[in-house]
Structure 1
Amino acid sequence: MEKEKLYRLKAEANQLSPILNIGKNGVTDALIEELNKQIKANRLVKVRVLKSAEDGKDLKDIAEEIAAATKSNLIEVRGRTVVLYK
């Protein structure tokens, strides 16, 4: 993805609120299904990963797993928030 588009998407994502929280159950099929619906409707989504979801996993790994499962682009991981775009 080109830099200019990436910067624009990051700026746009700053205005968004997280639409989903990933909790202690982690990345489930139901979560991926809901995330796919949200991505289809909004194209750019923000997801919050709660501390209980990590369970020994790195936050970046969780973000990449979500991006791969939803076939979307991982735009940014900031704090506990993940931004995805399709």
Structure 2
Amino acid sequence: MSNTSRDQRIHELEVTVWVGKNGIDAVSDELSDQLQEREFVKVKFLRAARGGTDTETLAAELADLVGATVVRTRGHTAVMER
């Protein structure tokens, strides 16, 4: 697969995991399940989850929790793969 088609697929992904005030622990099982079924999963970090922490840090922590890799972050979203 070329990088262009990969980038296009990542860009077109819908957010399917939202991290809110309950933090990353609350969504780790759901993210793990989705990563078993899909190549990429897009995660949105809501303001309540960020609380002074940047998206990159939260995404890295969540990825570590589920054994995934952060493909990219943009704004308050991250794309992960396993």
TM-score norm. by structure 1 comes to 0.84
Alpha-carbon distance, 1:5 to partner: 6.5
Matched, 1:24 2:18: no
CA–CA separation in structure 2 for the residues paired with 1:68 and 1:5 = 27
Alpha-carbon distance, 1:82 to partner: 0.5
List, as ranges, runs of 4+ consecutive aligned residues in structure 1 with deviation greater than 6 Å. none
Aligned residue type for 2:23: G
Alpha-carbon distance, 1:8 to partner: 4.7
Matched, 1:34 2:44: no
CA–CA separation in structure 1 for the residues paired with 2:45 and 2:33 = 18
Q: 2:55–2:77: 8 Å Cα contact kept in structure 1?
A: no
After TM superposition, the structure 1 = structure 2 runs for residues 38-57 of structure 1, keeping only pairs within 5 Å, are 38-57=34-53
In the alignment, structure 2 segments of 5+ residues that lack a partner are none
In the alignment, structure 1 segments of 5+ residues that lack a partner are none
Q: Which has the higher helix share?
A: 1
Provide the secondary structure at the position in 2 that maps to 1:24. coil
Identity of aligned residues (%): 28
Q: 1:47–1:81: 8 Å Cα contact kept in structure 2?
A: yes
RMSD: 1.7
Aligned residue type for 1:58: D
TM-score norm. by structure 2 comes to 0.88
Distance change >3 Å, CA 26–CA 5, structure 1 → 2: farther
